[in-house]
Structure 1
Amino acid sequence: MSDRKEILLNGKIEKIYYKYLFNSVLGMLSVSFCILVDTMFIGRGIGSEGLAALNICIPIFNIFNGLGLLFGMGGATALSISIGKGEIDESQRVFTQTLVISLFTGIIISIVGVFNKEQIGYLLGADEKTIILVKEYLSGVLFLSFSYILSHTISSFVRNDHNPKLAMIATSTGGILNIILDYLFIFTFGMGMKGAALATSIASLVNVSILCTHFVSKKCNLKFTKFNFSLKRVTRVLANGAPSFIIELSSGIVIFIFNLSLLKMIGEVGVSAYSIIANVALVVAAIFTGIAQAIQPIISINFGADKYDRVEKVKKMALITAFIVGSIFYITGIVFPQTIVRIFTKESGEIVFITINAIRYYFIAFLIMGLNIVMGAYYQSKEYTVASNIISLSRGIIFLIIGVLILPRIFGVNGIWLTAVFAEMMTFILTYAYIKIKKIKTLKYE
């Protein structure tokens, strides 16, 4: 562990940050790219009905990703803080226990999912029109549920073991394979929704296989120990990972609520339009999550070693990066909305008009979203779980539910698109107030 610890604690902070940033963002983009490619191929190969079915299924990925990050980010944060404090044996026990529980959880979900596809489809919001396509897609995803969960869990530990490059290679390889298989299964073999799902699942399994090569390499400092269940250790991991889980799960909840609201207000065409918006948002959120994952190993180990100046410097760089990225996507949406729509569908008429209108409202949220995600990750990386959970719950559930209940009554369908803006803005204000109050209390005690 000494070499890795030395680099993260005493190496040039800018160089370390950009190394982790590049690999983490590229890795997260590859994950979202799998779903994005499904959307493009389904939109062009199956049509708006396929897009609607896919959007109904997307929350299942949020659940898988959320569980993977719950164990991965939670365990990796505990691991790095333990290393920073010099508690090497404890860090290995955290690693072993987290990985075993993650694998067990994934296998259980795979077994339950395979035998309950139809029930899960209806729970996700499918109706008689969409259930057939939804079941097709779920049948290709659920039996390999464990691979989606494990990919995030293992990737987090590999990054924290100072090998972000392998994590990036694994997810990038999976993304490229997904594109190839998508084309073959949908257009060459005519396998439809099931083919798209199988392509994504196989890519995820390959991702996990590549990540596992780290454990037999000379670079690996992670050691498996005898499994010894500790409730205290599990609680620590779950508390650390809860903010990441909430963010992912809330994304699924948002899609579910938006789908129901749009079906009620403007019908299936609204869900198809939102499918395009949701997938662009998925890419943007992936970049922001990549930034968050990049700072986690650096902040956790330096915080554990009491090097607070390095912690604050990394936070500042991450906030600047997030704002620049958000601004680029916002400007792109305002200037080229029709180009964005055409990437996903060759249809014309109502779906194009609705989506272009939605982009002009929804993309405002990108200006603030990254700042909130970075601040949540900053507190999470220091094991300040209360602050991190407040941010995650506020932007992911509380203000979104308030917004979707109130704004459509005032602005009609535009109120749905403004809900994301409302949630991010209110969370930003709440976080700013929290920081100011905490600073005042600190000065008072000093």
Structure 2
Amino acid sequence: MKKIRLDFLKYTSLNILAMVGLSIYILADTYFISKALGAIGLAALNFSIVIYTLIQGIGLMIGIGGAIDFTTRRSEGSNSGNESFLNALLIGVLISIIFLIMALFFGKKLSVFLGGDEFTLPAIKTYISTILGLSFFSILNNIILVFVRNDNNPRLAMIAMIISSLSNIILDYIFMFPLSMGIFGAAFATGLSPIISLCILMTHFKHSSFRFQLNKHKLDIKRLGKIIILGFPSFVTEFASSITLFTFNIIILRIAGNVGVAAYGVIANVAIIATGLFTGLAQGIQPLTSNYYAKSDINGLRTILKYSLTTSLMLSAIIYFTILMFSKNIVSAFNSQDNAALAMIAEVGLKIYFVGFIFAGLNIVLISFLSATSHTINAMTISILRSSVLLIPSVLFMSFFFGMYGVWASFTITELIVIILAYLIHTNRLRGNKQLKVYTQG
């Protein structure tokens, strides 16, 4: 029991710190853009973050899917883990090529689709074209981060992410202010920072007992498919953020215009930090959960799940207390033009929207746990429910009757319904799955 607790603290604390570091550099983009470009810049960034979140989700899908396959095979005594690594890299390269084509030929169409108008369209096109063009480094970084973490080196993964994040903040400032590169500078800094992380992560392979190698390898379609399936719930978790951003942006644009979208930009970027905390927790338990599952260690699985859910609730309480105490200060930091409408919308929105993280945190942890124990269908069901099936009708319904208040409350309502449905799905599945019953009780 003591070893499980120590491993849990080691992996989750390092991953939470790393994900918070990653989230802070997104927040730095928001801060610098708000200072340089005001409300219109904030609105343009919020439209653009939809694409950035999608890129991150795909990188996590490939990395986590490949790492689960790698960890499972290594726990079973298989020596084919290098194939998991090479197949993950291959998928990443192929998807990066698709993103590059989108950047070169479809930047304007994507910008209009995301909600760009005559005021925000140029900035949106610049931002998404830049991050799509440099997406290869972001995807590769996500893949190698997860493999390094699963190869018993979570500390190096954390160091790489934090140094990369700090570098991005420094580059943000240099590109946007001394060099006056505007929103392109913010996007360019975001696109370059994974390269710094990759340089740090490469040191792991000199000492890895597994010895990952880039050698000739026969394409394994079955393995490619398995990696995508195993990682898909993680992708859907990130994709949920993209769907949420896109849906909210379009509805808020209709209700309150670009100022409303800018206010949501403040809320969404603060929410990225909260999501980062729970994602860090979820990613931290993945190597442990996969390992205990491969060994059929029921007690270990049950303990990890208990620790994870308890930690999630503690984080939720800390986050909401912080929002209640400092909502005005948070909004004013991003409201350089002292826009009264923006301040009012954002302050109220923070207090309503962040109630939803009590339930969102539990959902994110459950998705990771179920995915790591190969209950992929359950994990995907919960992910899809919270990303689109329930969220979109909820925000449409609530906004129609309650305006902006309804927009903010729809996130909380969706996550609450999902956690209730997840419990019902769980209890229904227990009847036919004795192993799942053993480690999810108590």
Deviations 1:346-381 (A, max 9, x none): 223110011111112101001111111111111000
Task: Summarize the Cα distance change of 1:29–1:348 in structure 2 as closer, same or farther, 3 Å threshold.
Answer: same
Which of 247, 271, 295 lines up with 2:285 in the alignment?
A: 295
Partner of 1:420: 411
The ranges of structure 1 where at least 4 consecutive aligned residues each deviate by more than 6 angstroms after the TM superposition are none
1:339 aligns with 2:329: yes
Task: Summarize the Cα distance change of 1:116–1:441 in structure 2 as closer, same or farther, 3 Å threshold.
Answer: closer
Counterparts of 1:231 and 1:111 in 2: how far apart (Å)?
Answer: 24
Counterparts of 1:144 and 1:211 in 2: how far apart (Å)?
Answer: 19
Displacement of 1:233 in angstroms is: 1.1
Deviations 1:40-74 (A, max 9, x none): 11111211110000001001111111110110111
Counterparts of 1:165 and 1:351 in 2: how far apart (Å)?
Answer: 40
Partner of 1:366: 357
Counterparts of 2:98 and 2:199 in 1: how far apart (Å)?
Answer: 20
Displacement of 1:220 in angstroms is: 5.2
1:352 aligns with 2:332: no
Displacement of 1:138 in angstroms is: 2.7
Contact conserved, 1:140 with 1:195, CA < 8 A, in 2? no
Displacement of 1:257 in angstroms is: 0.9
Structure 2 length-normalised TM: 0.94
**Cα-Cα RMSD:** 1.9
1:47 aligns with 2:43: no
Contact conserved, 1:106 with 1:150, CA < 8 A, in 2? no
Which of 294, 302, 306 lines up with 1:304 in the alignment?
A: 294
Partner of 2:220: 230
Contact conserved, 2:91 with 2:224, CA < 8 A, in 1? no
Contact conserved, 1:399 with 1:422, CA < 8 A, in 2? no
Counterparts of 2:117 and 2:134 in 1: how far apart (Å)?
Answer: 25
Partner of 2:49: 58
Deviations 1:207-262 (A, max 9, x none): 22222232233555434453221222112111111111111112111111111101
Contact conserved, 1:214 with 1:220, CA < 8 A, in 2? no
1:153 aligns with 2:143: yes
Partner of 1:380: 371
Partner of 2:430: 439
Displacement of 1:121 in angstroms is: 1.4
Deviations 1:2-33 (A, max 9, x none): xxxxxxxx981111111111221121122222
Q: Secondary structure at the match of 1:88?
A: coil
Partner of 2:381: 390
Q: Secondary structure at the match of 1:188?
A: coil
1:108 aligns with 2:98: yes
Partner of 1:278: 268
Which of 330, 339, 347 lines up with 2:320 in the alignment?
A: 330
Deviations 1:194-219 (A, max 9, x none): 11111111112212222223223355
Partner of 1:144: 134
1:249 aligns with 2:239: yes
Percent of aligned pairs with the same amino acid? 35
Partner of 1:84: 75
Letter in 1 for 2:88: T
1:71 aligns with 2:90: no
Counterparts of 2:388 and 2:295 in 1: how far apart (Å)?
Answer: 34
Task: Summarize the Cα distance change of 1:29–1:220 in structure 2 as closer, same or farther, 3 Å threshold.
Answer: farther
* Matched length: 436
Counterparts of 1:183 and 1:227 in 2: how far apart (Å)?
Answer: 43
Displacement of 1:119 in angstroms is: 2.1
Which of 196, 210, 219 lines up with 2:186 in the alignment?
A: 196
Task: Summarize the Cα distance change of 1:442–1:120 in structure 2 as closer, same or farther, 3 Å threshold.
Answer: closer
Counterparts of 1:343 and 1:22 in 2: how far apart (Å)?
Answer: 28
Q: Secondary structure at the match of 1:412?
A: helix
Counterparts of 2:108 and 2:60 in 1: how far apart (Å)?
Answer: 27
Deviates more, 1:226-235 or 1:263-272: 226-235
Contact conserved, 2:18 with 2:158, CA < 8 A, in 1? yes
Partner of 1:173: 163
Partner of 1:404: 395
Task: Summarize the Cα distance change of 1:382–1:225 in structure 2 as closer, same or farther, 3 Å threshold.
Answer: farther
Deviations 1:143-177 (A, max 9, x none): 21111111111111111001111111111111111
Displacement of 1:410 in angstroms is: 2.3
Counterparts of 1:292 and 1:32 in 2: how far apart (Å)?
Answer: 15
1:267 aligns with 2:276: no
